[in-house]
Amino acid sequence: MLLQEIINGLLLGGVYVLVAVAFSVCWGFLNFLNFSIPGLFAIGGFGVWVFTQQGFGLTTSIIISILLAAIVSCLVERFTFRFQRNAGPIIPLVSSLGFLILIENFLLALFGSDGRAVPNPFSDMNWRVADLVISIPRAAGLGMSILMVIAFSILLKRSKMGRGVRAIAESSDTALLLGVRINTIVPMVFAFAGIFAGLAGVLFAFSYSQVSPFIGDQVALKGLSAMVLGGMGNIWGAVAGGLIIGIVEVFAISYWSADFVKVAVYGVLLILLLVKPSGLFGSAHGVREKF
């Protein structure tokens, strides 16, 4: 049924939304493509398994995993972006890639490459409406993703931190002259990126009930594609791009095969960029359009 496939695609897109927003936060405000995000995603997902195995409750494990992803994201800022802010865009990018390799291989060394089963007490919770079946955990995850983006957008528009972030996005040198505490605000931006990526990893772990050290790689590629599809640095464009990628993936699996997913996803991205190179909501007219 067409409507069922669209619903499944939207629910799947909730994970891609968070990853795309994590990329957009760093790129849109700091002009920094943060390649450590797949590793932060893996920390969120793997952390749920690790902490539940250690006897922590499910809610506690989720909170600790997300906070751990945020802390590691701040370490990425401290040892890549801050040290190499004036070194050109390539050096920090490569350094963040180094963090990704470090995180993934650290998890690999500790826990091995085998997939680990994540306990999911909500796996059989579905809501039936006529002939439609809606997964309650995935619907809750999608709703949480959208609510977090809304809250983050409000924070950027109405808080002192948000004004500082907007100033930095316009010009970090000018922001510094205006008294913006860059070394305080930029780590907050990275922390939010870590929270989005970590929560995406948690949702993925519960959706597929399995994690491994490299779970972030393919998901992050689709999240990055979603950011480009929606418009580089535009948060709501990233949301739209994530949902579109989810729908395209479900349609590809349903009407062709799982092997066709990458062809469909990146084919749609390529076609859209040929028609509109700036993405669906991309624009070069100012920072305000980013949120």
Per-residue pLDDT of the chain (291 residues; tens, 9 = 90+): 788 888 888 888 888 999 999 999 888 888 888 889 999 999 999 889 989 888 888 889 999 999 999 999 999 988 887 766 666 667 777 888 889 999 999 999 988 888 888 877 776 777 777 777 887 778 888 888 899 999 988 888 888 888 888 787 777 777 777 777 878 888 899 999 999 999 999 988 888 888 888 888 888 888 888 988 888 878 888 899 999 998 988 888 888 877 788 888 888 888 888 888 887 886 655 444 455
How is residue 182 written in tokens? 């860059």
Q: What architecture does CATH give domain 2-290?
A: Orthogonal Bundle (1.10)
**Rounded Cα gap, residues 93 and 193, in angstroms:** 15
Q: What's the angle, vertex CA 157, arms to CA 152 and CA 163, rounded to 5?
A: 110
Q: Which residue has the tokens 């050096």?
A: 91
Q: Tell me the three state secondary structure of residue 135.
A: strand
SS3 of 122, please? coil
Among the listed residues 28, 37, 13, the one whose alpha carbon sits nearest the alpha carbon of residue 282: 28
Please give the structure tokens belonging to residue 278: 């700036």
- Give the angle 73-78-83 at the CA atoms, nearest 5°: 140
